[in-house]
Amino acid sequence: MEEMVKKYDVIIVGAGIAGMTAAIYAARANKKVLILESSIEGGQIINAISVKNWPGELTISGVDLTRKVKEQAKELGAEFNYTKVEKIEKNGDDWAIIGEGDETFEARSVILAIGTEPRKLSEKQTADAGTRAISYCATCDGALYKNKPVVVVGSGNTAKHETAYLKNIASKVYHIHHDDPIPEDAVAIFVAIGRVPNTEFCKGLVDLDEGGYIVSGEDCKTSVPGIFVAGDCRTKNLRQLVTAASDGAIAATEAIKFLDSK
């Protein structure tokens, strides 16, 4: 017998702070909410040892902040499921959200809260790197290279911070720019060349800007009615936790209005 596909009022793609805040707002309005996450909850902040600029906490780890926000969303009735969303298609008045292995979920509205990921090395540097370790987080992985030579790739402030951090640990820290040759003796490559939005599967679904960010104003509406966007994956000036949470609240409120007007 064919399995019934469960239908949700709101499906949120991405369980970062934007997505989980959206879930809190939508679930409190008594909507049936599912969050689909490709990895573990928390998104970018999960790796932060000490989170800054989050009101109410002088300092808190990314793991603890994530745990609290997830508990709050679950307590209110939001469901979590783990799959990488690969496609979203119109299905009558609703949306079919298709994950790995063609697993399909149905939604009356969608919130895209898919964040960003680190930009990868160029083809030339990837070839140069060979089988050497590649990391995107010095605080996470730096300790593995005590007294060994490493290299940081990137020209911005993050690359400078990563270099300064690694100087306390490694025997030598090279600091090179995007596309410079990678020194032969470096055993690990720390990449800090910016971030890109996780919006590959959104091409042709909603309008994207030239950098791949989902085009939206402060109302968190996309170019398509019924699909909303929250957090770092949208066009905006400040990508931080509080603005991600703010977007989550706005996107959910707009989704609720959309559902109630149908």
Ligand X SMILES: Cc1cc2nc3c(=O)[nH]c(=O)nc-3n(C[C@H](O)[C@H](O)[C@H](O)COP(=O)(O)OP(=O)(O)OC[C@H]3O[C@@H](n4cnc5c(N)ncnc54)[C@H](O)[C@@H]3O)c2cc1C
Which of 151, 183, 191, 185 lies closest to 167 in space, CA to CA? 151
Judged by CB under 6 A, which of 10, 22, 24, 43 binds ligand X?
43
Nearest alpha-carbon partner for 136 in 120, 160, 157: 120
Q: What minimum distance in Å lies between the beta carbon of 124 and ligand X?
A: 25
- Nearer to ligand X (CB atom), residue 112 or residue 182: 112
**Residue 242 DSSP code:** H
Task: Check binding of 16 to ligand X (CB under 6 A).
Answer: yes
The closest alpha carbon to 181, from 254, 128, 243, belongs to 128
CB of 1 to ligand X, least distance (A): 29
- 82: β partners: 37
Choice between 183 and 224, CB closer to ligand X: 224
- Which of 214, 211, 167 lies closest to 190, judged by CA? 167
Of 9, 10, 23, 44, the residue at the interface with ligand X (CB under 6 A) is: 44
Q: How far is the CB of 27 from ligand X (least distance, A)?
A: 17
Provide, rounded to whole angstroms, the least separation between the CB of residue 20 and ligand X: 8
Stretch 74-93: interaction string toward ligand X, x if CB under 6 A? ----------xx--------
In order of 179, 187, 242, 261, the CA distances from 164 in angstroms are 21, 18, 27, 54
* Shortest distance (Å) from residue 193 CB to ligand X: 13
Helix (H, G, I), strand (E, B) or coil at 201: helix
Instruction: Please give the distance of CA 149 from its chain centroid, rounded to a whole number.
Output: 31
**Cβ(117)–Cβ(213) under 8 Å?**
no
Q: How far is the CB of 103 from ligand X (least distance, A)?
A: 12
Residues 179-208, one symbol each (x = binds ligand X by CB under 6 A, - = not), give -------------------x--x-------
The residue among 69 and 256 lying less far from ligand X, judged by its C-beta, is: 69
Q: Per-residue contact track with ligand X, 105 to 144, x per CB under 6 A?
A: --------xxxx----------------------------
Beta bridge partners of 99: none
Closest CA to 45 of 261, 245, 234: 245
Q: Nearest distance from residue 245's CB to ligand X, in Å? A: 8
226 binds ligand X (CB under 6 A): no
Q: Are 12 and 19 in contact (CB under 8 A)?
A: yes
Could you tell me the sign of the dihedral formed by the alpha carbons of 184, 185, 188, 192, in that order? negative
- Report the interface residues with ligand X, using CB under 6 A: 13-19, 36-39, 43-45, 47-48, 51-53, 84-85, 113-116, 198, 201, 231-232, 239-242, 244
